[in-house]
Structure 1
Amino acid sequence: MFNVGFLWLALSICSEITGTSYIKKTNNFRNPAMSALVIGAYSLCYFALTKAMGYIPVGIAYSLWCGFGIIGVTIFSMILYKQKPDFPAMLAMGLIITGGVIMNVFSQM
């Protein structure tokens, strides 16, 4: 059955990825447009995460938020800042995805 909490969680994850990815472009919050983007993204992120936790157990919501946030920020850093993850980073991200899938599919929380 569909759980609207996962839509809130997806919005939260996307907002967190956006905010975190653009922090570097705020130039220590001296760039007003980028600063507003980061503050707005984090505000939306925590609002949506709060809503998601009304439908999804806290442990599952938070672990998915953290894990997919890490992966998303890594992907954005590859695009925005030309950073290249090495093999240990790729392996760790694979384990994060695996853990998220296992927790989602098999957890009875």
Structure 2
Amino acid sequence: MDWVFLILAGVFEMFGVLMINKVNKDRNVSSFLLLFAGFGLSFLFLSLAMKTLPMGTAYAVWTGIGASGGAILGMIFYGEPKNILRILFITMILGSAVGLKLIS
């Protein structure tokens, strides 16, 4: 269950990153509430995952999911560059997260 919590934490981290962009475009109460909800749930699930997973592994996987997911969502929703090197490095981040799962 700890890995499920960690993946959920990463997904909510990605949502929080999307909401940062929304707050920059629409400065209203609902945007801020969604931003705080996304990051709040991310931290909640990260703390639940860290009850059994080592801190270094949990943090590395969480930030990997958040960073690579945020970059992918930026390419999908905001027209950010989609060049091969960018995709290669995002793949390397995700591969590292999978590698940490395999050894822990």
Q: Does the TM-score normalized on the shorter chain lie above 0.5?
A: yes
Q: Comparing both structures, which one devotes a greater share of its residues to helix?
A: 2
Letter in 2 for 1:24: N
* CA-CA distance at 1:26 after TM superposition: 0.8
Q: Distance in 2 between matches of 1:104 and 1:74?
A: 21
2:10 alignment partner in structure 1? 13
List alignment gaps of at least 5 residues for structure 1. none
What TM-score, normalized to structure 2? 0.88
List alignment gaps of at least 5 residues for structure 2. none
Deviation >2 Å, runs of 4+: 27-30, 84-88
- RMSD (Å), alpha carbons: 1.7
1:47 alignment partner in structure 2? 44
Task: Look up the SS of the partner of 2:22 in the other structure.
Answer: helix
- The percent of aligned pairs where both chains have the same amino acid is 29
2:24 alignment partner in structure 1? 27
Alignment coverage as a number of residue pairs: 104
More divergent stretch after superposition (7-16 vs 24-33): 24-33
What TM-score, normalized to structure 1? 0.84
2:87 alignment partner in structure 1? 90
